Amino acid sequence: MAPALWEVGINSLVIGVCSYCFVGLHPLDAGFENFLDFMGIIVIIACWGNVLGLTLGIIVDSADSASSVSMPVLLINVLFSGFVITSGAIPVYFIWCYYLSFFHYCLSGMLVTIFKDMEFSGCDSDRDESENCPFGTDGDGTGTRAHPTLTPKLDV
C-alpha cells in the first residue's frame, strides 16, 4: 500500500505541475505559496481517488462490479460539487450530497488558491466593447453585464 500511495503522490505532482503551467498560471507570478497550495490539493484529490478505489475493491467481490459501483459514486460527487449544480439549485432533500461531496471542498480550495491574489475589474463604458469586454458593457460603467448562459456561478 505504501508504494501505491507514493506512486500516486509522484504522478499527481507531475500532472499538477504540467496543468498549472499549461493553463497559464505561473508559480513565480502568483506566489509560490499558491503553487504549493494547488499541489497539495492535487495530491489530496489523487490520494482520495486511490482510497475510494481501494475501498470499493474491498466492498465488492469482482473488478467488474467495482467499476460499475465507482461510476455512480463519482457521478454523485462531481454532480453535487457546486460546479455543475450550485447549492441554491440543489433540492433540500439532496443537500446532504453537496456537503458530503469531496470534490466540493477541493474545488473551493482550488478557486480560493488560484484567485485569492487576483484583482478583477469590470468593463468601463468608455472602453471599446471589443477590447476585454466580449459581451459589451451595461451602460452605467459598472461592467456588470455578462452573457447570461456563460456566467459561472460557483459556490465557494
The pLDDT of residue 6 is: 77
DSSP helix, strand, coil percent of the chain (3-state; round to 5): 60, 0, 40
Domain that holds residue 39: 2-115
Total residues found in the chain within this entry: 156
Q: Is residue 141 part of a domain?
A: no
Q: Residue 142: inside a domain, yes or no?
A: no
At residue 65, the pLDDT reads 85
Tell me if 145 is assigned to some domain.
Answer: no
Q: How far apart are CA 151 and CA 144, in angstroms?
A: 11
The total number of structural domains that make up the chain: 1
- Residues in the chain where the model's pLDDT stays below 70: 1-4, 26-30, 118-156
The reply to whether 138 falls in a domain is: no
Q: What is the pTM of this model?
A: 0.67
Q: Flag whether 56 is in a domain.
A: yes
Residue 22 included in any domain: yes
Give the model's pLDDT for residue 149: 42
Residue 131 lies in a domain: no
pLDDT at 132: 58
Looking at residue 131, its pLDDT comes to 57
DSSP assigned state of 125: T
pLDDT of residue 151: 43
- The confidence score (pLDDT) of residue 152 equals 47
Q: Does residue 128 belong to any structural domain of this protein?
A: no
